Amino acid sequence: MRIAIDMDEVLADPLHKFIQLYNRDYGVPLDLILDPGNEIYHHVPEHINNKWFEYINEKGFFRDLPLIEGSVEAVKKLQENHEVYIVSAATEFRNSLEDKWDWLAEHFPFISWRNIMFCGDKIVNTDVMIDDRAKNFVGFNGRKLLFTSPHNLLLTDYERVDNWQQVLDKLL
């Protein structure tokens, strides 16, 4: 099978970084937990709820994101039996391109440049797509695995995976 894997909130954890930056600049608590269905901007004071857009556009934002637990080992295992593609809507954020490339080279050096797709809309023809954003499933004909993130917890129309072990249980 060909498997398309998203980066943010699937391999990498931008939420953690947003909270750190909001904590550094505005004292937002580091142990902030997002309510189901919410984005980070729902949980900060109104006058700074657009600040996330500045953070995400800064060079370096994507370079040091923490890994989602178990992602490296799981992708390695999937690669043994399947063709894995990283598919990230990176062109939305100009400064993210180099950072995302370097981040992948650091944490996923076993993924070839041939298997990395930085794009806008995810028009891909794979058998499986693993993504936390349901909008990326529109028009996709393969098996859709919604990777759990606070913002998608209220969605019920998709096959859901809460963590990388569940992905392996379904696909290996």
Least CB distance to Mg ion at residue 160 (A): 14
Nearer to Mg ion, 6 or 99 (CB): 6
Q: Which residues are catalytic?
A: 6, 8
**Footprint of Mg ion (CB under 5 A):** 6, 8-9, 132
Task: Output DSSP code: residue 38.
Answer: -
Residues in the chain, overall count: 172
**CA 150 centroid distance within chain:** 12
Least CB distance to Mg ion at residue 89 (A): 8
Nearer to Mg ion, 9 or 99 (CB): 9
Nearer to Mg ion, 81 or 143 (CB): 143
Residue 65's alpha-carbon distances to 11, 14, 100, in angstroms, are: 9, 6, 10
Least CB distance to Mg ion at residue 10 (A): 5
Residue 113's alpha-carbon distances to 68, 83, 90, 110, 158, in angstroms, are: 21, 13, 15, 10, 30
